[in-house]
Amino acid sequence: MPFFKTETMAAGKPAQSDFYQSESASAGEMLNGLGFEFQAYPTGLIPGIKYERYISPLHGLHLRVGYNWVRHGSAGVHEDERGQGFGFTAGYRRYLSDYYGKTWFIGARGDVWFNSLDWRDGIGGPNEIGGNSKVTVVQPTLEGGYRFILNGGELFFEPSLAFGFEFNVKTKGEKVGEGPILLGGISLGRFF
């Protein structure tokens, strides 16, 4: 069952009162979205579950919980850095179309990750050393993408691209890599 009505049209677009309504919803009821999100960056992968609350025809707020699989390799401070951690995201999106449906979007989001990274130096040599660092990472990014609507309006698919910075705000152990980050992502979920 689609989550919007198009019977009332103004200039080829649904009227505001028809925004985000299911056939059984009361007028003006806002939708939520819940789905799987996957992001990849040059030194890691982030799968997660994302919830979005649409607060108006143009604006949405979202939360994500996820897992960060890190493989800095030689791109960090040490010869090899690898590990993982859990974290969460809070973000905002501005949809560029003034009605519900397929549309471009831009946004800003902030991640916080609690990572544990194993590092090594002098790999393969007689003086090889290694250790573990516990790192709290703050990762602000700007994102852009496109929302496709599937299955008659019940599902969404969103490819995206994000750019930002990783800041290690707390480190227990040796310093590890931080800096600019570019992430490609996809989301697949359901409106409710």
User: Is 60 exceeded by the pLDDT of residue 131?
Assistant: yes
- Give the tokens for residue 90: 């809070």
pTM given for the model: 0.84
Whether 107 has a pLDDT exceeding 70, the answer reads yes
Residue 77, both tokens: 């401070």
User: Strands 13-14, 32-41: parallel, antiparallel or unpaired by DSSP?
Assistant: unpaired
Q: What is the pLDDT of residues 138-157, one digit of tens each?
A: 999 999 999 999 988 889 99
Task: Tell me the pLDDT tens digit for each residue of 13-60.
Answer: 444 334 444 433 333 566 899 999 999 999 999 999 999 998 988 899
Each residue's pLDDT tens digit, 73-83:
889 999 999 99
Radius of gyration over alpha carbons of the chain, in Å?
20
